[in-house]
Chain A
Amino acid sequence: QLQLQESGPGLVKPSETLSLTCTVSGGSITSASYYWGWIRQPPGKGLEWVGSLYYSGATYYNPSLRSRLTISVDTSRNQFSLKLSSVTAADTAVYYCARHHGIGAVSGHMDVWGKGTTVTVSS
C-alpha cells in the first residue's frame, strides 16, 4: 500500500528557506502517469495547491509562488522535495504531499496523501 510521509523543520525564520521532503513507500516514485505534489493549508483556511512534479521530471508551480519555489526529486531515495525561499508569516501552514493522477500536462485527482507537517514561520 502506497504511503507518503512529510518531514522537515517545524520552525523557519522569516527570510530563510523552508525545506521539506516527502518519502514515498510501498511504490516507486518513477511510476508512469503520476504527479507528486505539495499542497498547503494555512491555519483555519482552505487548501492551496503549491506545485507538482511529473514522473518524467517536469515541474509545475503555483504562479503566486513560482519565483520562490523549487520542487525536485531524488529517485534513489524515492523522495521528492520542496524548497520555498524568502518565507514570511504568510507561508505558515500545514504542508501535505500527495500523489495525483495525470497524463502529460493534464493532472487529475489526488488519491494518496501524507498526514501533513506543520511549518511555522517566526523569529
Chain B
Amino acid sequence: QSALTQPASVSGSPGQSITISCTGTSSDVGGYNLVSWYQQHPGKAPKLMIYDVTNRPSGVSDRLSGSKSGNTASLTISGLQAEDEADYYCSSYTSTTTLHVFGTGTKVTVL
C-alpha cells in the first residue's frame, strides 16, 4: 500500500490562506469519508486536527477546515499564523490489504 501523496512543502505569509492536498485512490480517500489530518511540531507527537474529512475536534481552531473531492482531500488553513508552522499529515482508512495509510507529509512555512 503506497502512502497518500502530499506536496512536500507549502508556504504563506501571516494572514493568508493555504491549502494542502492529499491524493489517494478509490480504495482509501475517494471511497470513504475517513480522512483525518494531523499537525506535528518538531520533537512532538502528532495532534489530530480534522477527522472524517470535515470535523474539528474540540479545541482546534476554526481557521482549519477540511474537504474532499474525488480521490483528493484538502486541508485549508486561513488567517495563517506563526503557530501554524509545522508538518501536516493526512491519513485514511484503506480497504486494501492494510488498514490505515498516512500521507507523505507537508511542511508548512509561515514567511
Q: Is B99 an interface residue (CB 8 A)?
A: yes
Selected contact of B93 from candidates A47, A96, A106, CB within 8 Å: A106
Interface string of A99-112 (1 = CB under 8 A from B): 01110011111110
Contact A60 B46 (CB under 8 A): no
A31 vs B100: C-alpha distance when bound (angstroms) = 20
For chain A residues 9-24, which have a beta carbon within 8 Å of chain B?
A: none
How many chain A residues touch B (CB < 8 A): the figure is 26
Determine how close the nearest CB of chain A comes to the CB of B98; give it in whole angstroms: 6
B3 on interface, CB distance cutoff 8 Å: yes
Question: Chain B: which residue is nearest A110 at the CB level?
Answer: B48
In the bound complex, how far is the Cα of B93 from the Cα of A38, in angstroms? Answer: 15
Query: Are B34 and A47 closer than 8 Å at their CB atoms?
Result: no
Chain A residues closer than 8 Å to B48, beta-carbon distance: 109-111
Contact at A49–B99, with CB atoms within 8 Å?
Answer: yes
Given contacts A109-B48, A115-B45, contact A37 B100 (CB under 8 A): yes
Number of interface residues of B (CB under 8 A): 26
Assess whether A26 is interfacial by the CB under 8 Å rule: no
Whole-angstrom distance between the alpha carbons of A35 and B51 in the complex?
Answer: 15
With both beta carbons as reference points, the residue of chain A lying nearest to B94 in the complex is identified as A107
Shortest CB-to-CB span from A66 to chain B, Å, is 9
Contact check: which of B3, B32, B97 meets A63 at CB < 8 Å? B97
A11→B103 CA distance, assembly (Å): 28
In the bound complex, residues from chain B placing their C-beta under 8 Å from that of A105 are 99
Indicate whether B101 reaches chain A with its CB closer than 8 angstroms.
yes
**Measuring CB to CB, which residues of chain B are less than 8 angstroms from any residue of chain A?**
1, 3, 32, 34, 36, 38, 40, 45-48, 51-52, 57, 89, 91, 93, 97-105
